[in-house]
Amino acid sequence: MIEKTDLSYERTILIGIVTKEQDQEKLEEYLDELEFLTYTAGGEVIKRFSQRMDRPDPKTFIGSGKMNDVKEFAAENDIGAVIFDDELSPAQQKNIEKILKCKILDRTGLILDIFAQRAKTSYARTQVELAQYEYLLPRLAGMWTHLERQRGGIGMRGPGETEIETDRRIVRDKISLLKKKLQTIDKQMEVQRGNRGQLVRVALVGYTNVGKSTLMNVISKSEVFAENKLFATLDTTVRKVVIRNLPFLLSDTVGFIRKLPTQLVESFKSTLDEVREADLLLHVVDISHPNFEEHIDSVNQILTEIETLGKPTIMVFNKIDAYEPETIDDDDLITEKTSAHFTLKEWKKTWMSKVGDDNALFISALNKENMEHFRKKVYEAVREIHITRFPYNNFLYPEYDKYGEQKE
Ligand SMILES: Nc1nc2c(ncn2[C@@H]2O[C@H](COP(=O)(O)OP(=O)(O)OP(=O)(O)O)[C@@H](O)[C@H]2O)c(=O)[nH]1
Ligand SMILES: [Mg+2]
């Protein structure tokens, strides 16, 4: 059982390393995201620690000197949890716990915790639970002690709380039970999807917090939960949408993130079936986010993992209202112009122009800017698929012109 804990704002430290592939600036961006994740999970970040290293220390991830600094700071500042930006090996986690004597989480553990906290339907909960047990299995030996676990808070939601005396065998049994349960649900979902007939299926995909649910609500007049936290949506919502005379199905589903835990990708397989079986993808991007290009890469990577890359896709650049390029003062002769300084017009001339006019849209779902253009493009793309599928044009509603006359 996944247990819900009241969110008491827990004081946390974030830790990341600077490597050849990841300079200080990049690390800070990743830690910004980790901080947002921590905030979503109910924590408050008190301090960030970083260390320059060729590769992480196999025993303790960061070096022993730095670890001492962390230990001192944690003791003096009433720190409840220390969160690492990368996945820790079970051995590293165990060693670090011994040294710091507080809760140690990695990125994967944190994301799993948020999913556990946000899973509302029994279907989502089953999927999250499976991912949590898969994550827990190799880590059982190094888990924190009985008493500490009962404290609750970040990283403590989920199997850890109730299965205190747990051992590998019990966890393995749980895993196979959950897998069976999911198989049964999967079959039901498959039947449900089959019952929807042959309507063209369009799926909203994208990084978390880009505005997928907001866009869904605008076009389908539905009320999907949207908020400025990560992973607001965990289940898939499907709505029938009609643009002009053309009905189709639109789905909104779980958002993606950099390094989305593989356990989650696997256990959310059936939630993601909606994406896998879609005829057209609307890849929503938050263009106001400084890292939006990297977000696109992460999404494409996950689409590849679920064997969905290469489907007809329209790129929807959302939040144009919030897009603000950095500026360079006239008398500033040092700052080099980078993509951070591009105006939207300049962006459109970059690789975006290769996406093609037909496949790139710039909108604000919040302010309903450019929605007419959006509707038109989606209509054209869906219509094309519809016509190939139904040469006799059944399903199409009659089209009326502006005088209310039925068109030929
Ligand atoms: N400024 C601005 N904010 C937007 C726009 N569209 C959505 N938002 C905000 O972005 C936040 C996230 O929106 P959601 O619709 O929940 O995003 P999502 O992609 O469904 O997120 P997940 O379900 O968490 O993956 C909310 O606070 C929205 O109000 C937009 O066009 N402009
Ligand atoms: Mg959403």
**Distance in Å, CA 102 to ligand 1 centroid:** 34
pLDDT at 164: 45
| Alpha carbons 185 and 270: distance in angstroms, whole number | 9
Q: Which atom of ligand 1 is nearest to the CA of 256?
A: 25
Which has the closest alpha carbon to 113: 94, 128, 103?
Answer: 128
Helices 24-41 & 107-118, crossing angle to 10 degrees? 30
* Top mutation candidate among 214, 225, 231, 324 for ligand 1, by most atoms within 8 Å of CB: 214
**Residue 387 Cα to chain centre, angstroms:** 33
Contact 160, 143 (CB under 8 A): yes
The answer, yes or no, to whether any atom of ligand 1 lies below 6 A from the CB of 226, is: yes
| Alpha carbons 56 and 109: distance in angstroms, whole number | 18
The answer, yes or no, to whether any atom of ligand 1 lies below 6 A from the CB of 371, is: no
Contact 384, 390 (CB under 8 A): no
**Distance in Å, CA 204 to ligand 2 centroid:** 10
The answer, yes or no, to whether any atom of ligand 1 lies below 6 A from the CB of 223, is: no
Beta-carbon contacts of residue 359 (< 8 Å; ≥ 6 apart): 313, 314, 315
Q: What is the pLDDT along the chain (408 residues), one digit of tens a residue?
A: 344 444 457 999 999 999 998 899 999 999 999 999 999 998 999 999 999 999 999 999 999 999 999 999 999 999 999 999 998 998 899 899 999 988 899 999 999 998 888 888 888 889 899 999 998 888 875 454 443 444 556 666 555 544 445 567 888 888 999 999 988 888 888 887 777 777 899 999 999 999 999 999 998 876 667 777 777 777 788 888 888 878 899 999 889 999 888 888 888 877 888 899 999 999 999 999 999 999 999 999 999 988 888 899 999 999 999 998 888 888 887 888 888 888 888 888 888 887 776 788 999 999 999 999 999 999 999 998 988 887 766 556 655 555 655 555
Q: List the residue whose alpha carbon is closest to atom 21 of ligand 1.
A: 209
The answer, yes or no, to whether any atom of ligand 1 lies below 6 A from the CB of 224, is: no
Q: Using H for helix, E for strand and C for coil, what is the string for 337-394?
A: CCHHHCCHHHHHCCCHHHHCHHHEEECECCCCECHHHHHHHHHHHHHHHHHHHCCCCC
Beta-carbon contacts of residue 163 (< 8 Å; ≥ 6 apart): 170, 171, 174
Residue 123: its H or E element: helix 122-136
The answer, yes or no, to whether any atom of ligand 1 lies below 6 A from the CB of 213, is: yes
Sign of CA dihedral 39, 41, 46, 50: negative
**How far lies 96's CA from each of 62, 82, 133, 148, 223, in Å?**
9, 10, 21, 15, 44
Sign of CA dihedral 94, 140, 156, 121: positive
Tokens of 218: 């605008």
Q: Phi/psi at 192 (nearest 5 deg)? A: -55, -45
pLDDT at 317: 96
Give percent helix, percent strand, percent coil of the chain, each to the nearest 5. Answer: 45, 15, 40
pTM: 0.85
Contact 189, 121 (CB under 8 A): no
Tokens of 185: 């649900």
pLDDT at 350: 86
Q: List the residue whose alpha carbon is closest to atom 17 of ligand 1.
A: 211
The answer, yes or no, to whether any atom of ligand 1 lies below 6 A from the CB of 361, is: no
Strand order in the sheet with 280-286: 237-243, 246-252, 201-206, 280-286, 313-318, 360-362
Q: List the residue whose alpha carbon is closest to atom 16 of ligand 1.
A: 226
The answer, yes or no, to whether any atom of ligand 1 lies below 6 A from the CB of 16, is: no
* Residue at token pair 């679920």: 306
Q: Which atom of ligand 1 is nearest to the CA of 228?
A: 27
**Which DSSP letter does residue 254 get?**
P
* Top mutation candidate among 256, 287, 366, 371 for ligand 1, by most atoms within 8 Å of CB: 366
Closest-approaching ligand to the CA atom of 237: 2
